[in-house]
Amino acid sequence: MRKNVARLAAVALMMVAMAMPEVLNAQSNIMYGSSRNPLMNTANPAFFPSRSRVYLSLPGANLDFSSPLAYSSIFQVDTAAQKTYINANSLLDTLANGEKIRFGTNVNAVGLGLNFGKFFLTLSAQAKVDLGFGLPQGLVTFLNEGNYGHTGDDVIELLDGNLICARAYGEGALGVGIRLMDDHLTIGARVKMLVGYLDLSNAGSSLTLTTAPDYSTMTADLNLDMNYAGAVNLIRDTVSGKTNFEIGSYFPKNYGLNFDLGAHYENDLFEVSASIIDLGPGIHWTENIKKVVSARENNSFTFSGMDVSNLMHGGTLDSTYSQMLIDSLSSLAEYKVVDGGADYWTSIPTKVNVGGMFHLTPGVSTGLLFHGEFERGLVKVGDVFKTQNVGFYSRTSLLARVNIHDWVEVVASASVLSSNGSWSWVNPGVGLTLTPFRTLQIYTFLDYISNLYLVDAKHLNISVGLNLFLGSSSER
């Protein structure tokens, strides 16, 4: 019976390969804690560097990666035998919290800030891609333990319904802020216009395995059900079995709307701040709405143990017999692209930021920053609201900031990360901002560095870019 495990796993892994991610837009707490970089305004619309009258944000990028898995949690090296093994027990323990591999990138195309004294205005345009891979704990359990003890109604769920989420969209934003209480208090707000280019989300795909009470047969059932919408149309050729991609429009009509709110209070001794980012309905998907579903209505396959006498002849694999089994299993993954029906909405995760800093000297500050991300997963199809993939992620950082004269800022942090009940305790970060001649600014941030050995890193956030300042003014 266990001879079929590898074949069945191949079908499951085909589904995993189709899984593109869970939405992520996590920011760097180091950037939030900066006092010189104008892009800190993207995390709190009440932030604005008073050292310049005008700033122009040149193209820059932010990459954020988070995963419950690292090389050492999957592989175990036997130096004596010079072999590497998969540590199934460690892998299962790691997957127990249902976390996902999450990746996000923001490309800051352009940004503009205008300081009018008591009032300031910001404009920005960004491109964002959010991905997240669901990790199939049931499949790993089955590969490790087999199906022994799971018969009759005890169905093994190899893949669940939370594998797939991918999104690509553009964002144009207009922000305003005003200074009150002798410039000690600043409040700000921003409205965001969203344009959706791609949405791929799981509507209920699953792969289960049922074993007969006498272990005589196993039945694999695959339900493939994914939502798709975007600027690129999916066309499935039923004759060749190929899926073609056809670009419909470079300016899709998948529009959305979100809002940001923020406040910041500062005096000579301390500063406190708070913001809510991406509050609103999200993106309304109306173009090329499709469903990727199983090609057959009865998409199941029942098979018994393999007859080894037919499979092997004189120590040689009978490719004809083995190919029959592979073809039968692979046919489960056959899919078709059909009309997706009604238009729908998807939400962008809402972020909450809270920070406090003490000014030890005019150029040295230290404090605590909290970033929380609510993965609402709110979806509206027609008049029906659904909630999927709800989760909460947080990043809490102890931070120190040093400003050297008017042109160097160094920020260092140590962060604790939490994801659905799983904690990562040691994640340092460092940021450097250089502003020579008070005009051109160069910045680099490395945050949430869980391990200097990159293959063992579970978290990493990188930001790089340039800003241009015009009409510099004195520091507050």
Tell me what the mean pLDDT of segment 451-466 comes to. Answer: 83
Nearest CA among 432, 440, 435, 439 for reference residue 464:
432
Give the mean pLDDT of 384-396.
71
Cβ 161 vs Cβ 205: under 8 Å: yes
pLDDT band at 388 (very low <50, low <70, confident <90, very high): low
Higher pLDDT pick, 350 / 336: 350
- Give the confidence band of 257 by pLDDT, cuts at 50, 70, 90: very high
* pLDDT on residue 288: 87
Distance CA 190, CA 175 (A): 4
Is residue 3 predicted with pLDDT exceeding 90?
A: no
Under a CB-based contact definition with an 8 Å cutoff, are residues 67 and 450 in contact?
A: no
What's the confidence (pLDDT) of residue 32? 92
Count of CB atoms situated within 10 Å of the CB of 233: 18
Q: What is the per-residue pLDDT for 267?
A: 95
Most confident of 159-163, 394-398, 467-471: 394-398
Look at 23 and 328; give whichever has higher pLDDT.
Answer: 328
Q: Return the pLDDT at 344.
A: 84
**CA atoms of 33 and 412, how far apart (whole Å):** 10
Highest mean pLDDT among 79-83, 190-194, 253-257: 190-194
Kindly state the greatest CA–CA separation across the chain.
91
In sequence order, the 6+-apart residues with CB closer than 8 A to the CB of 386 are: 378, 379, 380
Q: Give pLDDT, residue 439.
A: 87
Q: What does the alpha-carbon distance between residue 104 and residue 429 come to, in Å, rounded to a whole number?
A: 18
Q: What pLDDT is stored for residue 178 in this prediction?
A: 96
Among 55-59, 261-265, 307-311, 433-437, the range with the most confident prediction by mean pLDDT is 261-265
Does 474 have pLDDT greater than 70? no
Kindly tell me if the per-residue pLDDT of 5 is higher than 60: no
| Interval 275-292 mean pLDDT | 90
- How far is it, in rounded angstroms, from Cα 444 to Cα 316? 58
The residue written with tokens 């039945």 in the block is 219
**83-92, 324-333, 339-348, 464-473: which has the minimum mean pLDDT?**
324-333
**What was the pLDDT predicted at 211?**
84
Is pLDDT of 183 > 80? yes
Rounded distance between C-alpha atoms, residue 434 and residue 409, angstroms: 7
pLDDT at position 11 is: 36
Task: With a cut of 60, say whether residue 286 has pLDDT above it.
Answer: yes
pLDDT at 455 over 80: no
State yes or no: pLDDT of 82 exceeds 80. no
Least Cα distance to 310 among 6, 5, 11, 3 occurs for 3
Question: Is 143 a residue whose pLDDT tops 70?
Answer: no
Residue 441 pLDDT grade (very low, low, confident, very high; cuts 50, 70, 90): very high
Q: Which two tokens stand for residue 453?
A: 């050995």
pLDDT confidence tier of residue 215, bands split at 50, 70 and 90:
confident
Does the pLDDT value for residue 238 go beyond 90?
no
Percentage of the chain with pLDDT > 70? 71
Rounded CA-CA distance 261/178 in Å is 12
| Short-list 272, 317, 267, 210, CA closest to 46 | 272
- Which range among 39-48, 356-365, 414-423 shows the weakest confidence by mean pLDDT? 414-423
pLDDT mean across residues, the chain:
79
pLDDT digits 0-9 by tens, 84-137: 766 766 666 666 666 677 888 899 888 999 999 899 999 999 999 988 777 666
Q: Give the least confident one: 28-37, 319-328, 461-470.
A: 319-328
pLDDT of residue 320: 63
Alpha-carbon dihedral 54, 57, 58, 64, rounded to 10 degrees: 170
CA of 435: how far to CAs of 86, 151, 263, 410, 469, in Å? Answer: 48, 67, 26, 12, 9
**pTM > 0.85: yes or no:** no
Query: Residue 13: what pLDDT?
Result: 35
Q: What is the 3-state secondary structure (H, E, C) of the chain?
A: CHHHHHHHHHHHHHHHHHCCECCCCCCCHHHHCCCCCHHHHHCCCCCCCCCEEEEEECCEEEEEEECCCCHHHHEEEECCCCEEEECHHHHHHHHCCCCEEEEEEEEEEEEEEEECCCEEEEEEEEEEEEEEEECCHHHHHHHHHCCCCCCCCCCEEEECCCCCEEEEEEEEEEEEEEEECCCCEEEEEEEEEEEEEEEEEECCCEEEEEECCCCCCEEEEEECEEEEEECEEEEECCCCCCEEEEECCCCCCCEEEEEEEEEEEECCCEEEEEEEEEEEEEEEECCCCEEEEECCCCCEEEECCCCHHHHEECCEECHHHHHHHHHHHHHHHCEEEEECCCCEEECCCEEEEEEEEEEEECCEEEEEEEEEEEECCEEEECCEEEECCCEEEEEEEEEEEEEECCCEEEEEEEEEEEECCEEEEEEEEEEEEECHHHCEEEEEEEECCCCCCHHHCCEEEEEEEEEEEEEECCCC
**Least trusted range by pLDDT, from 177-186, 217-226, 320-329, 465-474:** 320-329
Q: What is the pLDDT of residue 227?
A: 82
Instruction: Choose between 44 and 238: higher pLDDT.
Output: 44
Residue 343 exposed, middle or buried by CB count within 10 Å (0-12, 13-18, 19+): middle
Range name among 129-143, 410-424, 425-439 with the lowest pLDDT average: 129-143
Mean pLDDT of 61-75: 80
Average pLDDT for 379-391: 60
* The pLDDT of residue 159 is above 80: no
Query: What is each CA distance from 28 to 92, 93, 205, 252, 410, in whole angstroms?
Result: 30, 28, 34, 30, 14
